[in-house]
Amino acid sequence: MDYAFEFMTQEQAEDIAYNWHYDGIYSFYDIEADKEDLAVFLDSYKRNSTYVVTKDSDVVGFFSFNKTENNTIDLGLAMRPDLTGSGNGSEFVKAGMEFAKSNYSPDEITLSVATFNQRAIKVYRKIGFKDVETFMQDTNGSSFEFLKMVYYC
């Protein structure tokens, strides 16, 4: 699949925030589920490192690339809800990692994922991400366990 990365527009951000809804336990990832996350996502200044990903001009997901200390890029990502669970995750994540490598030249790429999301964790491990640590994070009106993972470039 050939993916294209473009800075996310306000219209795209609003469409994703208000119209992307995941099924079952994955509704945790609905952007509207947390008011603070929603406010950040809709603020064009705060999402200045967020790219919409398209295939054949069709929005299929997004990535955020946040540069942290020690030449590390921390990924945030989401695939359009109707495309999840269909075996496209590895290819999608690899495309984001290649974009990060070619545009930011990081030494490592990190991400954090809710520990209940074993489907995503399996994809990340398959690609080569390694478990670093688990931690608790307040979000969506409660506290949830997350797994931090790292990929060494």
pLDDT tens, residue by residue, 58-93: 999 999 999 998 999 999 999 999 999 999 999 999
Cβ density class 126-151: b for 16+ within 10 Å, e for less: ebebeeeeeeeeeebeeeeebbbbbb
The residue whose two tokens read 């990060």 is: 100
Structural domains of the chain, count: 1
Q: Which residues contact 73 (CB under 8 A, 6 or more apart)?
A: 65, 66, 67, 100, 104, 106, 108, 109, 110
The pLDDT assigned to 1 comes to: 56
The residue whose two tokens read 């299929």 is: 60
Q: Which residues contact 82 (CB under 8 A, 6 or more apart)?
A: none
Q: Are 37 and 25 in contact (CB under 8 A)?
A: no
Q: What percent of the chain is modeled with pLDDT above 70?
A: 99
What CATH code is carried by the domain that includes residue 136?
Answer: 3.40.630.30
If one compares 146 and 2, the residue with the highest pLDDT of the two is: 146
Find the domain containing 101 and state its range: 4-152
Average pLDDT over residues 21-37: 93
Local structure of 124: helix, strand or coil? helix
The pLDDT assigned to 140 comes to: 86
pLDDT tens, residue by residue, 91-143: 999 999 999 999 999 999 999 999 999 999 999 999 999 999 999 999 888 89
